[in-house]
């Protein structure tokens, strides 16, 4: 049971922080299907920092992980500017923009990795080798029955995600900017009439979405993959979108959805080990979160209420 909790959290928390980024973007009225590409490009920038500074840090050390997360945030935010420009400046179709950015990120980062590896390491490869992040255990708390698993063998990024998620929750629900952001997703014309620039609010929301997705991508690279490669683009972004929809675009219910997905994945892996099933079945277990997505879609989709102006191109002249 402890292993299910430990592994489940290491998958659910990166998914959660990416879903929060999606909530920010969509609460502002911008549809964001580009989470997959944002997390992949952010992870590429963070991983590039790791391989370029490998001689300066011990592999997987706390300082290296934190700096990699910072660069991944910057990379994801920078790439999200494309989505912001297309959707806000040029008023392009937001759904198409997201899909195109996902495809572009996967192709571009794979190409760049293949070009950079011979230059940096003298050998062709389609991935950056990162290794696995160091893990920490909280003394005392880790000895609590069952609940202690939450504080056992933590990745440093899990602590970072909890802190960032709390800040994101506070900003969204307890600050004036959060109020403006949520209003932009429901009635952007009223926001504009109040003298607030809708484009600026939405631009900031898209940047937050990119930054948080970058964190998630770097976390997946440091834990599940132990490298940066095309494995980053395996549907996690779409799973995060499903989680925020099931969570009705609210942060705490979205956390619950992410935990369900995380524990389904880790529980399935443990089941394969307990039953001593062939290793091929561990790949089959990867579909469990997506099966859950379909099941939850049946029961919860009728009760979801998206922001009223979500996906609508804002035209100030029509106010």
Domains of the chain: 2-318 (1.10.3470)
Task: Let me know: does 217 contact 50? Beta carbons within 8 Å.
Answer: no
Q: Is the pLDDT of residue 195 over 90?
A: yes
Q: What is the pTM of this model?
A: 0.94
Task: Let me know: does 33 contact 99? Beta carbons within 8 Å.
Answer: yes
* Mean pLDDT of all residues in 253-268: 90
Q: What is the pLDDT of residue 303?
A: 76
- Six-digit token string for 228: 């940066």
Q: Is the pLDDT of residue 136 over 90?
A: no
Tell me how many degrees the CA angle 311-312-318 measures, rounded to the nearest 5.
165
Percent of the chain surpassing pLDDT 90: 61
* Mean pLDDT of all residues in 250-273: 88
* Mean pLDDT of all residues in 218-226: 85
**How many residues can be counted in the chain?**
319
Q: Please state which of the ranges 85-94, 100-109, 139-148, 283-292 shows the lowest mean pLDDT.
A: 283-292
CA neighbor of 223 nearest in space, from 73, 102, 47? 47
Tally of CA atoms within 13 A in the half-sphere of 157 that contains its CB: 35
Helix axes 62-84, 198-220, angle to 10 degrees: 140
Q: Is the pLDDT of residue 182 over 90?
A: yes
Each residue of 76-96: pLDDT tens digit? 999 999 999 999 999 999 999
Integer angstrom CA distances of residue 180 from 176, 190, 203, 300: 6, 10, 12, 28
Helix axes 2-27, 198-220, angle to 10 degrees: 160
The residue with greater pLDDT, 263 or 277, is: 263
Cα Rg, the chain, nearest whole Å = 20
* Mean pLDDT of all residues in 167-177: 97
Say how far apart CA 110 and CA 104 lie, in whole Å: 10
Each residue of 20-41: pLDDT tens digit? 999 999 999 999 999 999 999 9
Q: Is the pLDDT of residue 262 over 80?
A: yes
Q: Is the pLDDT of residue 293 over 70?
A: yes
Q: What is the pLDDT of residue 279?
A: 64
Q: What is the pLDDT of residue 299?
A: 75
Residues near 171 by beta carbon (within 8 Å), at least 6 away in sequence: 177, 178
Q: What is the pLDDT of residue 134?
A: 80
Q: Is the pLDDT of residue 112 over 80?
A: yes
């Amino acid at each position: 049971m402890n292993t299910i909790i430990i592994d489940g959290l290491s998958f659910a928390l990166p998914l959660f922080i990416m879903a929060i980024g999606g909530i920010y973007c969509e609460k502002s009225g911008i549809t964001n299907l580009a989470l997959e590409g944002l997390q992949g490009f952010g992870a590429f920038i963070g991983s590039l920092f790791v391989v370029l500074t490998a001689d300066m840090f011990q592999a997987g050390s706390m300082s290296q992980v934190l700096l990699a997360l910072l660069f991944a945030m910057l990379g994801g935010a920078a790439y999200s500017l494309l989505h912001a420009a297309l959707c806000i400046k040029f008023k392009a179709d937001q759904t198409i923009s997201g899909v195109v950015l996902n495809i572009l990120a996967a192709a571009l980062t794979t190409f760049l990795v293949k070009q950079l590896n011979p230059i940096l390491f003298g050998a062709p490869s389609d991935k950056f080798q990162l290794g696995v992040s160091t893990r920490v255990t909280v003394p005392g708390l880790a000895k609590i029955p069952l609940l202690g698993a939450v504080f056992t063998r933590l990745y440093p990024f899990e602590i970072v995600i909890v802190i960032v998620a709390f800040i994101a929750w506070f900003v969204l629900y307890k600050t004036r900017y959060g109020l403006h952001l949520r209003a932009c997703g429901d009635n952007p014309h009223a926001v504009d009439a109040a003298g607030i620039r809708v484009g600026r609010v939405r631009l900031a929301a898209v940047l937050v979405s990119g930054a948080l997705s970058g964190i998630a991508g770097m976390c997946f690279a440091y834990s599940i993959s132990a490298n940066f490669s095309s494995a980053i683009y395996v549907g996690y972004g779409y799973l995060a979108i499903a989680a925020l929809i099931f969570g009705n675009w609210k942060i705490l219910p979205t956390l619950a959805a992410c935990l369900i997905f995380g524990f389904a994945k880790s529980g399935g892996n443990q089941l394969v080990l307990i039953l001593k099933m062939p290793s091929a079945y561990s790949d089959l277990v990867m579909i469990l979160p997506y099966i859950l997505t379909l099941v939850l879609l049946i029961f919860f989709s009728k009760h979801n209420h998206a922001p009223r102006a979500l996906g609508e191109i804002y035209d100030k002249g029509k106010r």
